[in-house]
Amino acid sequence: MDSPCDSVIGDRDLLTEILLRLPVKQVIQCKCVCKKWSSLISNTKFPYSHTCRLYHKYNNNPPPTALLVQNFADTKAQRASIVPLHANDNNDNKMFFHLDLDGCNYRSSIMHSCNGLLLWNVIPTSQPGPTSEDSRACHFRIHNPAMSDDQCVYLDYPVGDVDSPYGDDIFEPFELKAYLVFEPLKQPLSYKVILFGQMNPSVIYYGRRVGFKVLNPRIEIRLYSSETCGWSEVICNLPDGLRVTEGVYCNGAIHWFRLDHDNSVYFDTNRLCFDKLPAVPSVDDSCVKYFGECRGRLHLILSDTLEFDIWELEEDYSSWVARYRVNLNRMHDGESALWWNVSSNPFSVLSFVHRQEEEEENSMLVLFKNGKIMSYSLEDYGLRVLCKVYRDEVPRSIHQYFETLLCVGNS
Amino acid sequence: MELLCIRQWISGLLPTWLSAWCIKPVGGALVRQEPEYILLALMGSPLKKIMLCSSEKEIFSVEEQVMVQHSVIINNMIEDGSYNHEESKIPLDCVDSKTLKKVIDYCTHHTHHHNDNQEDLEAWDAQFLNVDSNGLYDLLMAANYLEIRNLLDLIYGTIKNMIKGKKIDEIRRIFNIKDHGFTPEEEEQNRKEYPHFY
């Protein structure tokens, strides 16, 4: 007769219930325990059920478990460091994410991280040789780094200006920002990729009879939808003075915040149009210290001093509210109080992670100073070093990340 | 005054040694009866009881209210009238006596002490689940069969903590998985890809 243990894990329903309650990292570990568990987890319904449960627990906005920091100067390595946000995650993690690429011929970087999927931009640095199998031109890759690399979507760059006599040239903007829109709770799974390109001014010569056409510097927007499996150009009214800079993705829209000229706008990926953000009540000597997103809400820090407010945008986009007060003069490292050495470089804010009252962890600010990335708890004022980057310049490419079981494969 | 309050008031007045004496035969088995029930029965207002029969044919008498509050299956049986108080007992052929007694203990405690503060309840739960792993799995199957939501959540939480922070070899040992079923190549691939799990 079966032992009670065998009866329990032999029962598919009971085993599923046990696995559904585990955090994502442990589920991935359980995939390696035995073949039976692996096939149960890989079954198409399980990742979706697990994701629904997880999102339900966090009110549809799970908190990030790590920050991804790209080592730009380290071009050979081409990888993103994973900086875990919580102490107990340190020991059992991978250190880096990177694509399996022929490092000499390609350059890759993470453009965006959305709900557990990463969007990479892959650019050949030289002409790929005729014999290399993976000889593709510029393209994007979308994959779930927590699961094995088999399921990866390859997206070639869209075609350039169709009116141009250069015909099939690819979309090659001077500045490119790309965003991945992935809403995991929608069935069937679908995603969108939005590109914002700052195009060079250029002159096209159509021949002696026709003459020149001058294309002014302009912004072009391209959209890829997994439902149509194709790129399309988005034509809409562009706000004045819009520049393609790093925007913040939140709730299906990409936001750019500018303090001057009341010029903060956002692009809605469903309605495919621009709209304005409400103005922030004016503060003396304001500068944009931090503009970011966490768990479906936008946050803004406007002051360079050690005591400041964190503004949060209301859910209906009606106004900004000063939601948290931070006093960096109050901090300790668990043993003794700390003080900033204010004569040296000011600190930078990399991220703000807020937690609800019911959750165990505290809301925290992720700061950077003197080559160290640190977390500062808003509740107990504790400062903890998360990792050392040994570089003085502020890391520019920071992405919040949490693991997911869902994958988007080439179907 | 509600019957439950009367019962608790009486139990507060009685000395604990009295419970050892209160045994009565029910359906061919001897069942321990809390003294307050006997007193109430003597007073002429018995609380409604139901009979649960384990796989070993042992009968347990328990307050209907207690089981109806916790077990969806028993609640449904009583509501749709398939249970007759005078004569029938509910046969639970897949639950042995030891497990059934534990389940009844859990439901009874949580009904009678539902006003206690959270910490006390959690401490009691932790003590309650201080059993060997076989006992835990038996409880899980019983709670699953009877559909007792809060006991199930409690046991799943305990199993989750058993796995937390363990390496794969330890997990295989905990669940008695002797043959993992992967080919040597697959196992090698897993170890290469996730070295921190092993």
Q: What's residue B37's pLDDT? A: 56
Among A411, A92, A60, A405, which Cα is nearest to A229's? A411
Which pLDDT band, with edges at 50, 70 and 90, does A280 fall under? confident
Would B8 be classed as within a structural domain?
yes
Query: What is the extent of the structural domain holding B18?
Result: 2-42
Would an 8 Å CB–CB cutoff place A42 in contact with chain B? no
Question: Looking at the predicted structure, is the pLDDT value of residue A333 above 60?
Answer: yes
Which residues of B have a CB under 8 Å from any CB of A?
Answer: 133-138, 140-141, 144, 152, 156-157, 159-160, 163-165, 168, 171-172, 175-177, 179-182, 186, 190, 193-194, 196-198
Q: Contact A16/A46 with Cβ under 8 angstroms? A: yes
Question: Looking at the predicted structure, is the pLDDT value of residue A16 above 90?
Answer: yes
Q: Which two tokens stand for residue A202?
A: 């250029």
How many Å lie between the alpha carbon of B193 and the closest alpha carbon of chain A? 8
A106 and A18, same structural domain?
no
A63 and A32, same structural domain?
no
Would B107 be classed as within a structural domain?
no
Question: Looking at the predicted structure, is the pLDDT value of residue A224 above 50?
Answer: yes
A184 and A129, same structural domain?
yes
List, in order, residues 6 or more apart from A38 with CB less than 8 Å away: A31, A32, B182
Q: Contact A398/A19 with Cβ under 8 angstroms? A: no
Question: Looking at the predicted structure, is the pLDDT value of residue A342 above 70?
Answer: no
A386 and A323, same structural domain?
yes
DSSP line for A163-227: TSTTTT-B---SEEEEEEEE-TTSSS--EEEEEEEEEPPEEEE--TTT-EEEE-SEEEEEEEETT
Buried b (16+ CB within 10 A) or exposed e, A170-203: ebebeebbbbbbbebeeeebebbbbbbbbbeeee
Would A411 be classed as within a structural domain?
no
A173 and A48, same structural domain?
yes
Euclidean distance between CA atoms A333 and A347, whole angstroms? 17
Q: What's residue A203's pLDDT? A: 74
Q: What's residue B149's pLDDT? A: 93
A164 and A142, same structural domain?
yes
Domains in chain A, number: 2
CB-CB neighbors (< 8 A) of B152 in chain A: 17
Largest CA distance in chain B: 74
Mean pLDDT for A15-41 is: 92
A72 and A14, same structural domain?
no
Shortest CA distance from B99: residue in chain A: A4
CB-CB neighbors (< 8 A) of A9 in chain B: 175, 177
Please, what sign has the CA dihedral across residues A98, A101, A106, A112? negative
CB-CB neighbors (< 8 A) of B160 in chain A: 18, 21-22
Euclidean distance between CA atoms B176 and A9, whole angstroms? 10
Would B25 be classed as within a structural domain?
yes
The helix (H) or strand (E) run that includes residue A138 is none
Higher pLDDT pick, A104 / B185: B185
Would B21 be classed as within a structural domain?
yes
The parts of chain B modelled with pLDDT lower than 50 are 1, 26-29, 44-45
Mean pLDDT for A65-93 is: 72
Question: Looking at the predicted structure, is the pLDDT value of residue A411 above 60?
Answer: no
Question: Looking at the predicted structure, is the pLDDT value of residue A163 above 70?
Answer: no
Q: Which two tokens stand for residue A74?
A: 């380290």
Euclidean distance between CA atoms A161 and A276, whole angstroms? 28
Among B192, B156, B110, B117, which Cα is nearest to A15's? B156
Q: What's residue B7's pLDDT? A: 61
Rounded to 5°, the CA angle A159-A161-A167 comes to 75
CB-CB neighbors (< 8 A) of B55 in chain A: none
CB distance A35–B180 less than 8 Å?
yes
How many Å lie between the alpha carbon of A258 and the closest alpha carbon of chain B? 43
Q: What's residue A304's pLDDT? A: 80
Give the strand pairing for B90-91 and B49-53.
parallel
DSSP state, residue A368: E
A305 and A373, same structural domain?
yes
Would A172 be classed as within a structural domain?
yes
Q: Which two tokens stand for residue B197?
A: 């799990």
A25 and A128, same structural domain?
no
CATH number of the domain encompassing residue A301: 2.120.10
Mean pLDDT for A173-182 is: 91
Question: Looking at the predicted structure, is the pLDDT value of residue A22 above 90?
Answer: yes
Euclidean distance between CA atoms A32 and A29, whole angstroms? 5
Give tens-digit pLDDT for A289-314. 899 999 999 999 988 888 888 999 99
Q: What's residue A239's pLDDT? A: 85
CB distance B196–A14 less than 8 Å?
no
Q: Phi, psi (5° rounding) for residue A115?
A: 50, 40
Domains in chain B, number: 1
Among B6, B8, B38, which Cα is nearest to B22's? B38
Would B105 be classed as within a structural domain?
no
A155 and A27, same structural domain?
no
Largest CA distance in chain A: 92
Q: Is the peptide bond before A188 cis (omega within 30 degrees of 0)?
A: yes
CB distance A91–B196 less than 8 Å?
yes
CB-CB neighbors (< 8 A) of A93 in chain B: 196
Per DSSP, helices labelled H in chain B are 3-13, 17-21, 35-43, 64-70, 72-79, 97-112, 118-128, 133-146, 149-163, 168-174, 184-193
In this structure, how many other beta carbons lie within 10 angstroms of the beta carbon of residue B109?
16
Shortest CA distance from B160: residue in chain A: A22
A9, A10, A12, A16: CA torsion to nearest 10: 10
Q: What's residue A343's pLDDT? A: 58
Q: What's residue A130's pLDDT? A: 54
Query: What is the extent of the structural domain holding A326?
Result: 44-401
Q: What's residue A256's pLDDT? A: 92
Question: Looking at the predicted structure, is the pLDDT value of residue A134 above 70?
Answer: no
- Sole residue written with tokens 């059993």: B131
**Residue A285 φ/ψ region, left for φ over 0, alpha for ψ in the -120 to 50 degree band, beta for the rest:** left
A235 and A189, same structural domain?
yes
Would A406 be classed as within a structural domain?
no
Would B36 be classed as within a structural domain?
yes
A300 and A284, same structural domain?
yes
Would B168 be classed as within a structural domain?
no
In this structure, how many other beta carbons lie within 10 angstroms of the beta carbon of residue A56?
10
Would A253 be classed as within a structural domain?
yes
Q: pTM of this prediction? A: 0.81
Q: Contact A170/A158 with Cβ under 8 angstroms? A: yes
Percent of chain A residues past pLDDT 70, beyond the cut: 86
Would an 8 Å CB–CB cutoff place A89 in contact with chain B? no
Rg (CA), chain B: 22
How many Å lie between the alpha carbon of B139 and the closest alpha carbon of chain A? 9
Q: What's residue B81's pLDDT? A: 77
CB distance B182–A34 less than 8 Å?
yes
CB-CB neighbors (< 8 A) of B139 in chain A: none
Identity of the amino acid at B42: L
In this structure, how many other beta carbons lie within 10 angstroms of the beta carbon of residue A242?
16
Percent of chain A residues past pLDDT 90, beyond the cut: 34
CB distance B177–A34 less than 8 Å?
yes
Rg (CA), chain A: 23
How many Å lie between the alpha carbon of A235 and the closest alpha carbon of chain B? 44
Would B6 be classed as within a structural domain?
yes
Residue B6's alpha-carbon distances to B10, B17, B23, B41, B83, in angstroms, are 6, 20, 21, 13, 26
